[in-house]
A = this chain, B = another copy of it.
């Protein structure tokens, strides 16, 4: 069975989105800056159907994550867009477009049972109403032995950590302070020992990989 991993970008001050998300700035004020390191890479662009981009350490990190993940788990807000017009439409998948960038099964935690939906490019959205453990288990059953990524948002990652489900964390630290927004870990989490297993860096991000120890 593959590992269960978290792979996410946060600002040095710990935020995965900036303050005050709006339709124009769904990641909050300055939140887009978090992902500049990834968006400029060749592998990210290829996966999102855009040509060009840079081939460098950042690109290798994206490529490695993409090739090792066989299925993903995400929260309802990350699926449908936390502040988009889809927010209150349980049938929507407007956030990700017709050809989402996952190209593999995605398990969405929700309170609304719903039939799976097959998108273009290999992504199928599945809807799970019985909690994080069930979602991770179903994702592993569909991942072809590859890793399962708990993709976000922050509260889903916190739930997965609290339930002891995460084997590995890769945190991409973007060189900025957002000053507010959504904290990746927040208060009230479970104390956990980690083992640092790899550090890679570029001027645009520092990629920190940890194994969860206890």
A contacts, CB < 8 Å to B:
12-14, 18, 29-30, 33, 161, 169, 171, 173, 175-180, 183-196, 199, 201, 203-206, 208, 210
Shortest distance between the CB of A162 and any CB in chain B (Å): 9
A173 to B183, CA, bound (A): 16
Q: How many copies does the complex hold?
A: 2
A206 to B176, CA, bound (A): 17
A186 to B11, CA, bound (A): 12
Q: Which residues of chain B are near A184, meaning CB under 8 Å?
A: 13
Q: Which residues of chain B are near A187, meaning CB under 8 Å?
A: 179-180
The answer to whether B175 and A196 have CB atoms under 8 Å apart is yes
The answer to whether B180 and A188 have CB atoms under 8 Å apart is yes
6 pairs of residues in contact across A and B, judged by CB atoms under 8 Å: A12-B194, A14-B183, A29-B191, A177-B190, A180-B188, A196-B204
Cβ-defined partner of A192 (8 Å) among B171, B179, B180, B199: B179
Shortest distance between the CB of A198 and any CB in chain B (Å): 9
The answer to whether B185 and A12 have CB atoms under 8 Å apart is yes
The answer to whether B178 and A191 have CB atoms under 8 Å apart is yes
**Which partner residue on chain B sits nearest A205 by CB separation?**
B196
Q: Which residues of chain B are near A189, meaning CB under 8 Å?
A: 13, 177, 179-180
Q: Which residues of chain B are near A208, meaning CB under 8 Å?
A: 12, 173, 206
**Which partner residue on chain B sits nearest A14 by CB separation?**
B14
**Which partner residue on chain B sits nearest A178 by CB separation?**
B191
A191 to B175, CA, bound (A): 11
Cβ-defined partner of A161 (8 Å) among B177, B190, B193, B194: B177
**Which partner residue on chain B sits nearest A185 by CB separation?**
B13
A5 to B210, CA, bound (A): 28
Q: Which residues of chain B are near A204, meaning CB under 8 Å?
A: 196
Q: Which residues of chain B are near A201, meaning CB under 8 Å?
A: 196, 199
A210 to B174, CA, bound (A): 11
Shortest distance between the CB of A24 and any CB in chain B (Å): 17
The answer to whether A12 and B171 have CB atoms under 8 Å apart is yes
The answer to whether A195 and B175 have CB atoms under 8 Å apart is yes
